[in-house]
Structure 1
Amino acid sequence: MADPAQVPGEGDDEASRPYRPGYELVAEQLLNYIAEQNLRSGDRLPTEQGLAQILGASRNVTREAVKVLAAIGRLSVRRGAGIFVADAAGGLVDDQLSHFRPTSMEDVLMLLDYRTVIESETARRAASLATPIEVRTIREGAETSLVAAGEDDGYAFAKADAAFHDAVGAASHNVFLRSSVAGVRRLASQSDVLLFHGDAPGSLEVAARQHLAIAEAVAAGEADLASELMVEHIATTQSQFERKIRDRLFNLDDRGASGSPPRTSRNTGAGDPPLSPETSAS
């Protein structure tokens, strides 16, 4: 395995490398190990000590990496039984998705491309099929997200964002489309936690106003417009995500060199856990 102290893709100049927490690098290496060994849902992993030896990391940092991966649903830690590969994200039945790499730009871009395909269609169908109650629910999610954005409350925004996208999925009147939207967002939340520690990758207000525009197109029954606006929404998310990734990988961070996870940002509320897969921001 690669040295977990080395940032993938960076040169050998120590001063040129941005800081990344040790647990984050080991988590990334552990996901690569699972893929290399072709491990599937339910397969048992070595002990923490065994993983530390395989990955060339300390046991404490390995333990933190395991905790983070368990928190985002990639591992299952069973007291007295061991560490296991967790079930694949609900709604996405291909077992290959258990090898999704949330810190890989290639994997994330493929995920966003899939989101564009799925969610543009759910928006189109919602504009054609939504009942008055469903239209109201979509609007409420959009309006709540705008209020949260105005208050700079990332945790409240993430919940409203999830409610909005789920409401659009429900209004498509296709359980498979709705389930696919939920599954994609669960995977996207893994990148939020590992790379951004629960923070949204871009402007909350921009995303919220796009929610409102989509909601109005759905309410007006403008299927093509609703689909186009959803494509634009996800494209904005992608550009913000890429910019945040570049900032993270190529700018020196002023945080300390501790291998422990950072404290939860104020946007998620003091003491709150990282955003769950169901509450990932756009």
Structure 2
Amino acid sequence: MLRLLKRNRRTTSEYIFDNINILLMIFICFITLYPIWYVIVNSLNEGMDAMKGGIYWWPREFTLDNYKAVLSNEGILTSFGVTVAKTIIGTISHVFFTAMVAYALSRKDLRGRNIYMFVGIVTMFFSGGLIPYFLLLRDIGLLNNFLVYIIPALFNFFHLIIFVSFFRELPTSLEEAAKIDGASDLKIFFKVVIPLSMPVIATIALFQGVYQWNDYFAGVIFVNDADLQPIQTYLYKVVAESSSNQMMVNAPSGVAAKSLTSQSLKLATMVITTLPIVLVYPFLQKYFVKGMLIGSVKG
């Protein structure tokens, strides 16, 4: 018993080390979360009063006028709908298309499999550049088209590698039994492989869903139609002050326009555009870690 107590008793150096780690983690959490809290607090404060500064922890003059002005703008509601649509459609199509390609490349009897993998790896490090990419999308008619968010994002080679690593670990006896029963490769993929691959599918869906939600670049470069631009592109315009002044002019009745500033509207727009993914991400973060480990260790 005495030996056990001695083993469980921490030394002074271990105690100091643990407390330093705790303090360090608290500090890292603070510097990570405080900027988000600062944006939220100032977005809930009256705009003219916020320009005086000195607001760090709580709103000095609480108001929801900033959010009323932002949400009353039809542009942000339309952009929000575009973002939701492209996130759902883009994620589902990306997962199934990449999974089908990965399933084919995971088969050892596929001719030229090593060549395809080599070419895919090269594309991870080298690209043709933005101008050839723009010209390509223009020639196939994707400019100012909702499909510009979907078709170019159907495939990602890094996600394919994760899929391939997972598919290679599936028991081959299951596929052999399905083939004996007369199942085709397509039926095996949907009836056998997909049900067994839900962990990796959830991982890739989360990767792609976060990307689709946060992507603003496609809307800036390839879409000029305001009705087809996602909410992150709308946020980009607000930050660039091309839309915030218009929201101040078109403030709804009941909102004191004098209390609105371009800065307060920017902060409120930032909160609205980022809040959904910020709320969802912590609950799904474990899938990111699991996705990075899939296929790395064989049982």
TM-score range, shorter chain: under 0.3
TM-score, length-scaled by structure 1: 0.25
- Bigger helix fraction: 2
Larger radius of gyration between Structure 1 and Structure 2: 2
Q: Which has the higher contact order (CA 8 A, sep 6+)?
A: 2
